[in-house]
Amino acid sequence: MMNNKPSRVYLVLLLLTLLTYLVGENGLGGLWVAAVVMLVAVLKGVLVVQYFMGFRQVIGWWRWPVLVWLFLPTALIMLSFYLAAI
Amino acid sequence: MWFFILAELLVFALLFAAYGFTRLENLMLFNQLQQQLNRDLALLNTLALISASYTVVRSVLALKSGENSQAARWMWLSFALGMVFVAVKSYEYSAYIGQGISLSTNVFYMFYLGMTFFHYMHVILGLVILAAMALKLQRGDYMADECSGLESGAAYWHMVDLVWLILFPLIYVMH
């Protein structure tokens, strides 16, 4: 029987991508818009790590490095956008 | 493989941070030139990479269900979707070269072309891995209960996708 979970995750990833694209097409900018766009990117990343890479089923230390990676560039990028905004 | 993937991810994280902090010093230039990028093609490429990641997952699941030929078909489809990305990006690069734009044009293009080309090279390596895995699936070299090689190759492809998921909003959308 076909496992439908990846298909649902795939659909969510497509919808979130279209949302990000529309933000860009409408010229929306500024610190808070950047924060929301980055949050959407992290959410997409978490879905890929958990459901496509299969880390959801991993127990122990190996579960964390790739997930933590997602937050490292995100924090640095948001810090740079915050400094640009103040 | 996982140490290799984590090392690659760390390099990309540093590049993203460097982009963000260089942008601080060149805000007008970055915001102006970002608006001139082709966001439609970037969307097409994002959809192609996400779709390729999904079909790689389908391929691994098909193999685990004992459907080897189905797994090979999903893997070849992933390869085709990855080729869409390479074709679109190659078209973009040739257009930039035609306009005389290069890494040395200014600091924005240095980051834009540098980061996307570095990622593009990873996609090409990923495509070589996908093609090798598709051929091995066709030959029946993977077993449903022993497919760690296939899963490692799939993880590399997902890493390529993961990097683009941050690259796309950072370069094409956020300002």
pLDDT tens-digit profile of B95-111? 999 999 999 999 999 99
Locate the chain A residue with the closest alpha carbon to B13: A73
Which H helix or E strand runs over A56?
none
Interface test with B, best of A14, A44, A68 (most B CBs within 10 A): A44
Low-confidence ranges of chain B (pLDDT < 50): none
Which of B5, B23, B47 has its CB closest to that of A80?
B23
pLDDT tens track of chain A, all 86 residues?
Answer: 567 899 999 999 999 999 999 999 999 999 999 999 999 999 999 999 999 998 888 878 778 888 899 999 999 999 999 999 98
**Model ipTM value:** 0.94
| Of residues B41, B23, B55, B163, the one with CA closest to residue A66 | B163
CB contact under 8 A, A37 and B17: no
Q: Are B54 and A7 a contacting pair at CB < 8 A?
A: yes
DSSP assignment string, B120-155: HHHHHHHHHHHHHHHHHHHHT-SBTTB-HHHHHHHH
CB < 8 Å to B169, chain A: 20, 24, 37-38, 40-41
CA distance B13 to chain A (A): 5
pTM of the shown model: 0.94
Contacts B16 to A, Cβ<8 Å: 73, 76-77
A51: chain B residues, CB-CB within 8 Å: 57
Q: Quick one: what percent of chain B has pLDDT higher than 90?
A: 94
Distant-in-sequence, close-in-space partners of B169: CB < 8 Å, separation ≥ 6: A20, A24, A37, A38, A40, A41
pLDDT of the residue at B2: 80
The pLDDT, as a whole number, for residue A1 is 52
